[in-house]
Structure 1
Amino acid sequence: MRNIAVVGAGQAGLLAAHALLKAGHRVTLYSDKTPEQWLNESRPTGTAARFDLSLRFEHELDLNPWADRIPYGDGFHITVCPKPGTQLLTLTGRLQAPCAAIDLRLQSHHWMQALKARGGGVEIESISIPRLEEIAAAHDLTLVAAGRAELCNLFERDAGRSVYDKPQRHLAMVCVKGPALGFDGVPLLPVKINLLPGRGECFWVPYFHKDAGASWNLLFEALPGGPLDRFQEAKSAGQVLEIAKGLIRELLPWDYPWVKDAETSDANGWLVGRFVPTVRKPAGRLPSGRVVMALGDTAMSVDPIAGQGANNGNKMVRNLVESIVEHQDRPFDAAWMTDTFDRFYERHGRAIHDFTNLLLEPITPPALQLLIAQYGSDGRTDNQSGRQLLANAFSENFNDPNLLTPLMRDPRRMREFIERTMGHSWLRAVATGGLGIAREGLRQLSGQAPRHPRVYGNEKAA
């Protein structure tokens, strides 16, 4: 049994504490907030949508008491909007297993209480570098899962893996209640995404809120200085929602009737900010020479555009626990920390990093071919057409970015994938999809509403 400290009570830190405790280790968690402060006085640190590979780990650890109350997402409904008020194309894809976004304040509250009830240690204090020295001296391994707070500066930026040196998006998020759990013509409960090339992205995420229960989380990713970049001076949840409604009415009018009567779910349920996506070296050396290990966002923070932050943390934790078990009673030195993180990066981190960065940049030709070829997908469970299978595959890439991300930079492999899935030439698939997109574009130019695929008479997920 090893004696392990975890500094930080967010997604990755608490998951690691529970997993290590279950593996038979002595675990002490250090949090700067009590469970009650997390629940009642904090802001959510993100949307934290999770897909099947990540949710399975939480289920294995019995950390899902809200499982029968969550508004699970069945897939994605994506609209590409090259100009304000214009819907160029849609994609409606189903996931193989549902996704979920749970209020991190509720989660930290419950997971901290559960850790203590299961025999783990929980200490409430803010951790300085001198205090971290004491903790590291008293434990076999100290994990720093403090997000992007001051302690992350212990860990050197990995210049070879960090692509950006400035924020790529200005972010805003607000928790809302009131909008229906579903959309007309979409036969599933989706994560709904509006892509505005050259402007940014808007996400409506089904969400389990600490007070409102089944509700929504609205996330805005604005290119700095662009028409979506309106939130940076907001000082309250109400102000974020007011700005959001105006933006949706102006740029995404098809969603305005759905959101116009929305209310904020709670006064603290909002965020506005920006950060530089960064990969850090996993071993940090304290002034004494002792080493501590970065975990979660402290080790690798990704822009939320691909919904990978919490998933990245969960996969990193699973890899860490496996590595600790394999390491047996040997010391946890800097070389082991580096090897452990490198194994995670090769398994999951590289694909997560690349997929996220692909979505931040102008679309690649192979990814565009996929979006065009899938046009006509409608999300029906009985739709087994090649177009629907392409849309489902794109959706499943959010669960495991290893599936399609490499193809999005490789024209030959993407064309082969389209041909295998469609059962005929990729050129025919792209031409057919392109004709459908052009037809609906002409309708919009003539002042008519587009007739993108819709399904009526089917019960929507709820």
Structure 2
Amino acid sequence: MRKILIVGAGQSGLQLALGLQAEGYEVTLMANRTADEIRSGRVMSTQCMFHTALQHERDLKLNFWEERAPRIEGLGASVAGPPTPEGPHTRAIDWVGRLDGYAQSVDQRIKMAGWMELFEQRGGQLVIHGVSVSDLDFFTQSHDLVLVAAGKGELVSLFGRDAARSPYDTPQRALAVSYVHGLGPRPEHPDYDAVRCNLVPGVGELFVMPTLTTSGRADILFWEGVPGGPVDAFQGVTDPSEHLATTLELMERFTPWEYARATKVELTDAGGTLAGRYAPTVRNPIGELPGGGLVLGVADVVVANDPITGQGSNSAAKCAASYLDSIVAHGDRPFDAAWMRDTFDRYWATAQHVTKWTNAMLAPPPEHIVELLGAAGALPPVADRIANGFNDPSDFEHFFYEPEKAAAYLASVGA
């Protein structure tokens, strides 16, 4: 029986550990917190997962919360126009596209704690301990394969930045998340749940999405602010109530149509806020240890995109599924550097589309993308196609990036 060690108990690490366990591998999982500590701790992400990523969980029979979590059937975009002397910002563009397969968001405190307990129940070895580079040197001698799925801390330094695939070297957004109860319904299409993406040019973005959290149905208010701008207002804010108050003040100023349904919200719990920032980075997938051993990076350890396109958990699930297939297909052969490179390249074939799209959305949109977003308000097929691109970002290659392709697409839909 082949022995595999996974460091990190997030979406990718746990999904991969449980998948390998089901295939008969002897898996050790190392995490820095217990399931109870995760469950009672601070929220970790927004984690809206679309159809393909959810299907990977279903394939492994890990979709324990599917019947309880809100079914997100639409995805909408609003673009704020400039404020006028008569009043605040209004929406210059507004539409909602329908998803072919519903999306869902399950608070990772619920999911990761539950998956960790399942891993142990199925006989996996769970070790609660921080891991250093020197520890990995030892583990590569005692395991057939070591995977690093912990996207923060010392271990990430093992994987050098791939400058050719990383156009940004500083954070492009300041992030602030609040989980709330009491958000009112969307005035448009209140009969089904949808993610709302509100773009305020030059300022940032506000995302609003339904979720399942530790206290039941809730909604997430997620600001992405341009660094140094008015939404970059959460540094040094440690009090959860102040965090929420700042969130609402910014909503009232820049997205009053969303603020109108948020006047009675309250935080779900004391751990229901999160703030931070990081530079989107692609890294080399193989880490070489001082003793000569090799480790393979997983998901956002090696491909960390800004959350502006909501792809973090989706990419983690897709990476875990791809790596699982590569490991099983390799049989009893050594997990050498060539295999590690091939395994990452197989995942990158999908991940490159996420990185290209995300980096494009971080920049001011060119005229043809503004025209596409505007056309979606009048042409439902365009709105639906953009919405479904969140599930399959590779489709954007065909109509989104190049003005000629965008014009040809709009002409075909208009005809």
Alpha-carbon distance between aligned partners in 2 of 1:364 and 1:250, rounded to the nearest angstrom: 25
Contact 1:397 1:405 in 2 (8 A): no
How big is each residue's C-alpha offset from its partner over 1:376-429, in whole Å with a ceiling of 9 and x where there is no partner? 3xxxxxxxxxx111100000000010012453222222222223333x1xxxxx
**Aligned counterpart in structure 1 of residue 177 of structure 2, from 173, 176, 196:** 173
How big is each residue's C-alpha offset from its partner over 1:278-302, in whole Å with a ceiling of 9 and x where there is no partner? 1111110111000001002111111
Written as runs of structure 1 = structure 2, the 5 A alignment for 1:140-159 is 140-159=144-163
What is the aligned partner in structure 1 of residue 108 from structure 2?
104
Whichever residue aligns with residue 286 of structure 1, its letter is: L
**Aligned counterpart in structure 1 of residue 381 of structure 2, from 389, 400, 407:** 389
Whichever residue aligns with residue 341 of structure 2, its letter is: T
Alpha-carbon distance between aligned partners in 1 of 2:367 and 2:22, rounded to the nearest angstrom: 46
What is the aligned partner in structure 2 of residue 428 from structure 1?
none
Corresponding residue SS for 1:17: helix
What is the aligned partner in structure 2 of residue 358 from structure 1?
360
**Worse overlay, 259-268 or 367-376:** 367-376
Whichever residue aligns with residue 91 of structure 1, its letter is: W
Corresponding residue SS for 2:73: strand
- Does residue 241 in structure 1 map to residue 244 in structure 2? yes
What is the aligned partner in structure 1 of residue 279 from structure 2?
276
Contact 1:364 1:408 in 2 (8 A): no
Alpha-carbon distance between aligned partners in 2 of 1:289 and 1:229, rounded to the nearest angstrom: 43
- Does residue 162 in structure 1 map to residue 166 in structure 2? yes
Q: What TM-score comes out, normalization by structure 2 length?
A: 0.96
What is the aligned partner in structure 1 of residue 374 from structure 2?
372
What is the aligned partner in structure 2 of residue 289 from structure 1?
292
Contact 1:95 1:392 in 2 (8 A): yes
Written as runs of structure 1 = structure 2, the 5 A alignment for 1:19-418 is 19-40=19-40, 42-84=41-83, 85-180=89-184, 182-187=185-190, 188-210=192-214, 212-346=215-349, 348-376=350-378, 387-418=379-410
Contact 2:133 2:154 in 1 (8 A): no
Deviation at 1:24, TM superposition (A): 2.2
Alpha-carbon distance between aligned partners in 2 of 1:2 and 1:91, rounded to the nearest angstrom: 51
Alpha-carbon distance between aligned partners in 2 of 1:193 and 1:35, rounded to the nearest angstrom: 32
What is the aligned partner in structure 2 of residue 441 from structure 1?
none
Deviation at 1:193, TM superposition (A): 1.5
Whichever residue aligns with residue 199 of structure 1, its letter is: V
What is the aligned partner in structure 1 of residue 17 from structure 2?
17
How big is each residue's C-alpha offset from its partner over 1:198-222, in whole Å with a ceiling of 9 and x where there is no partner? 1100001111111x21101111000
**Worse overlay, 267-276 or 412-421:** 412-421
Whichever residue aligns with residue 312 of structure 1, its letter is: S
What is the aligned partner in structure 1 of residue 7 from structure 2?
7
Query: Please, what is the CA RMSD of the aligned residues?
Result: 1.3
Deviation at 1:375, TM superposition (A): 1.9
Whichever residue aligns with residue 6 of structure 1, its letter is: I
Whichever residue aligns with residue 160 of structure 2, its letter is: E
Alpha-carbon distance between aligned partners in 2 of 1:5 and 1:218, rounded to the nearest angstrom: 36
Contact 2:147 2:297 in 1 (8 A): yes
What is the aligned partner in structure 2 of residue 439 from structure 1?
none
What is the aligned partner in structure 1 of residue 86 from structure 2?
none
Whichever residue aligns with residue 318 of structure 2, its letter is: K
Larger radius of gyration: 1
- With over 3 angstroms needed to count, the CA separation of the structure-2 counterparts of 1:217 and 1:110, relative to structure 1, is same
- Does residue 419 in structure 1 map to residue 411 in structure 2? yes
Alpha-carbon distance between aligned partners in 2 of 1:126 and 1:394, rounded to the nearest angstrom: 41
Structure 1: 5+ residue stretches without partners: 377-386, 425-462
Corresponding residue SS for 1:204: strand
Whichever residue aligns with residue 97 of structure 2, its letter is: G
Deviation at 1:45, TM superposition (A): 2.1
Deviation at 1:365, TM superposition (A): 3.2
Alpha-carbon distance between aligned partners in 2 of 1:308 and 1:209, rounded to the nearest angstrom: 19
Alpha-carbon distance between aligned partners in 2 of 1:209 and 1:296, rounded to the nearest angstrom: 24
Aligned residues between the structures: 409
Deviation at 1:372, TM superposition (A): 2.3
Corresponding residue SS for 1:260: coil
Q: What TM-score comes out, normalization by structure 1 length?
A: 0.86
Alpha-carbon distance between aligned partners in 2 of 1:37 and 1:104, rounded to the nearest angstrom: 12
Contact 2:38 2:112 in 1 (8 A): yes
Structure 2: 5+ residue stretches without partners: 84-88
Whichever residue aligns with residue 220 of structure 1, its letter is: W
**Worse overlay, 163-172 or 332-341:** 332-341
Deviation at 1:352, TM superposition (A): 0.3
